[in-house]
Amino acid sequence: MIRKWALRAIVTYVLFGIAMYAYLFYLADTSIPEMLQGTKADPTTFLNSRELMLSEEYSRIRNLIFFLATPYEWLFYYLILIFGISSAFERWADKTSKLFVVKIAIYLFWLSLVSFIVMYPLSYLSYMISKSYNISTQIFSSWMKDKWIDFWVDYGMMFVIITVLYALMRKFKKRWWLAAWLLSIPFSIFMMFIQPVLIDPLYNDFYPLKDKELEAKILEIADEANIPAEHVYEVDMSSKTNSLNAYVTGVGSNSRIVLWDTTLERLSDEEILFIMAHEMGHYVEKHIYIGIAGYLLLTLVGLWITAKIMERWVNKRGKLWKVEKMTNIGTLPVFLLITSILLFAASPLSNWVSRYQETRADTYAIEMTGDKEAGIQTFQSLTKAGLSQVNPPYLVKIFRYGHPTMLERITLIEEFRIEEK
């Protein structure tokens, strides 16, 4: 029976992969609408023939890896459950210590390690593809260092979350999901607060912007938008990537405006100011707080659904998987599998909200700077640097894109009418 379930799961995954390959490489339409051909949103006007070919190739491969990676993770969780590997990890933890916290730490270490090993081939493939298309400039040792930092940071956060989660399951048999949600509120805000000062510096070096003249210009438009910013930071990314980026991170006194050094090197001051105005648009329109509220609402619904499905699933299949109670740590792959599926299912909605907010921020940037040409040049440069598809397939857009497509962003600027102040 178990072998039959495993075979069905593997065959389903393979068939899904074949279907996605056919869709992305043969069926999906990425052509530019006739009405927009020849406009500044048409990639043929700012990319040469080789860049056009490479952007299509690279984007298709990256999109395929994305659609293969998430179900691959689901398959992993499912197989370690039905083959009793999760229960074996739990038995090892039980034999090692009687302390609940130590059991969680041991079980989670083995699960995290096996997960790292199983997911490594796809991660390495993604890295090598980025290298071959000259997107990544990172040497292998540096990449592996980041992977190990990821492993231990994720392990540390998961240890705290899972320890509290299963303690709540034991204490509140029916309402553990509600207690977990209530505790997730301060935890999420705390993580956002420490992210810029404790976690991000583990990966890259951050320092105040060296170009003080540019910093003064950025702070000037920040002051005009009533944003309490005192410094702008740059981060050393040129040793890892040729892509361009800038962002605002953190909350409260730890909020930061950050520019990648690649952005500073390859964009003009006008283009950088447009990007900064875009990021400030998020602050002005309270997108970070709207995002937190939306995240917490989805978390509440997700935990409730997970609790219902998990209880039924464990009651029905638990003995077969050698996991008899939902409060056993061996049920963790069930929890992770369900939550991962729910997150994937909710991604079209969350991405739609994000795209709306990004459009609002683009509009704010145009109005703030009054420089449509800088906005168009910025998005064209981002497209070229990242080998992005200007008009990606529909499924890619709804499942992957938290920003509008470059076709939509450039068209918005071209058609935007700036009112005289």
- Active-site residue set: 279, 362
DSSP characters over 261-281: HHHHHHS-HHHHHHHHHHHHH
Angle among Cα 296, 286, 189 to the nearest 5 degrees reads 40
- Cβ burial of 111 (10 Å; 0-12, 13-18, 19+) is buried
Which among 330, 354, 341 has a CA at the least distance from the CA of 306?
A: 341
Cα(105)–Cα(110) distance, integer angstroms: 9
Q: What does the block give as tokens for 85?
A: 């590997």
Cα(394)–Cα(302) distance, integer angstroms: 25
Q: What does the block give as tokens for 346?
A: 């909710």
Which among 294, 288, 285, 298 has a CA at the least distance from the CA of 359?
A: 285
* Residue 403 marked ligand-binding: no
Contact 406, 40 (CB under 8 A): no
Place of tokens 């997960």: 115
- φ/ψ of 364, rounded to 5, equals -60, -40
Cα(219)–Cα(22) distance, integer angstroms: 49
* Residue 282 marked ligand-binding: yes
Q: Reduced to 3 states, what is the DSSP secondary structure of residue 372?
A: helix
Q: What does the block give as tokens for 231?
A: 């410094």
Q: Is 404 left (phi over 0), alpha (psi -120 to 50) or beta?
A: beta
DSSP state of 319: T
* Residue 358 marked ligand-binding: yes
Q: How far is CA 122 from CA 25, 37, 118, 243, in A?
A: 19, 36, 9, 21
Cα(254)–Cα(183) distance, integer angstroms: 22
- φ/ψ of 207, rounded to 5, equals -155, 160
Place of tokens 């040409």: 373
Residues in binding site for Zn(2+)? 278, 282, 358
Residues in binding site? 278, 282, 358
